[in-house]
Structure 1
Amino acid sequence: MKFFKVLLTMVFITFLFGCAGKYQTPHNITTPVDGLTKEQVKKAILATATKDKAAFGTWKMDVISNNTIRGRLFNRNYEVVVNIPYSAKGYSINYVSVSNNLKNGQGNVHRNYNRWINNLDTKIKQNIFNIK
């Protein structure tokens, strides 16, 4: 009887993990910054552009206005586009678009999008820390 309970519990747990959504709402991230100028924040964001081939994909950063940078991630057959408005007080990473193979019909994106955006935010924070 104990074996049956353990087996049933394992099947239930496997079912729960299997139901975890592959597609999620795209996250936008807002990060406050203290003690830097607008130019230093811009420099930290632009420094996240991938110089060489990276295992997780290549980020390209382009300045599209005096307070917004457009980031593009190229990862195998996938493309992610985000806008990064910035100021001396902080920056945001805002969803713009993803390639068709990363989205579903309900407007959700593959969970890797949110992981890639979190990784980008972490890299920007590291660059800001190195500037201070």
Structure 2
Amino acid sequence: MKTVLKLLLVSILGLFVLTGCRTATIYNATDHPVEVKKGTSEDEIYRAIKNAGTSLGWMITKVKPGLAQGKLNIRENTAIVDIPYSTKSYSINFKSGSDSLKYDPSKNTIHKQYNQWISRLDKSIQVELNRLAD
């Protein structure tokens, strides 16, 4: 009987730990500086963001001047982000996601995979913007 209780307790604890590890505080890339050569237009910044996102499977569209939107579909997961940009800075902000991303607005948490996608997108944008600095 004690062995069964121990196994049950370990199983429940293990399930709790695994479930809790799947979410993390949501990551937004906020006001990252844009360092490009003088005379670079906002359209060139947008194209750099679009190229960066497209290379990673994101669909990037211009909502209006200074605001792009990115959408990523991977298996049953969908993430949508707003990307405000200018010749001085850009941000990547969570807008919405599929239920499978486990977004919890009250805790500001989301599936940890989302943060990895945003980190890769952010790095890719930086690489593309660096090309405009040369």
Q: TM-score range by the shorter chain?
A: 0.7 to 0.9
The equivalent of 2:126 in structure 1 is 125
The equivalent of 2:23 in structure 1 is 23
**Does 2:43 match 1:39?**
yes
The equivalent of 1:61 in structure 2 is 60
Deviation for aligned residue 1:45: 0.4
**Does 2:50 match 1:50?**
no
User: 4+ runs of 1 displaced by more than 6 Å?
Assistant: none
Query: Which consecutive residues of structure 1, in runs of 5 or more, have no partner in the other structure?
Result: 1-14
Change (3 A) 1:34 1:104: closer
Q: Kindly provide the CA deviation profile for residues 90-128 of structure 1, in whole angstroms up to 9, marking residues without a partner as x.
A: 100001011101115555210000110000001101111
Larger CA deviation: 98-107 vs 87-96: 98-107
Instruction: Give distance in 2, aligned partners of 1:34 and 1:109.
Output: 31
RMSD over aligned Cα atoms: 2.1
Change (3 A) 1:104 1:61: closer
Instruction: Give distance in 2, aligned partners of 1:116 and 1:104.
Output: 15
The equivalent of 1:90 in structure 2 is 89
Give the TM-score, by structure 2 length: 0.73
Instruction: Give distance in 2, aligned partners of 1:103 and 1:49.
Output: 23
Identity rate, percent? 31
Q: Is the 8 A contact 1:84 1:91 kept in 2?
A: yes
Indicate the structure with greater helix content: 2
Instruction: Give distance in 1, aligned partners of 2:103 and 2:94.
Output: 15
Which residue identity does 1:108 align to in structure 2?
T
Instruction: Give distance in 2, aligned partners of 1:22 and 1:66.
Output: 36
Q: Is the 8 A contact 2:97 2:103 kept in 1?
A: no
Deviation for aligned residue 1:37: 3.3
* SS state at 1:87 partner: coil
* SS state at 2:126 partner: helix
* SS state at 2:26 partner: coil
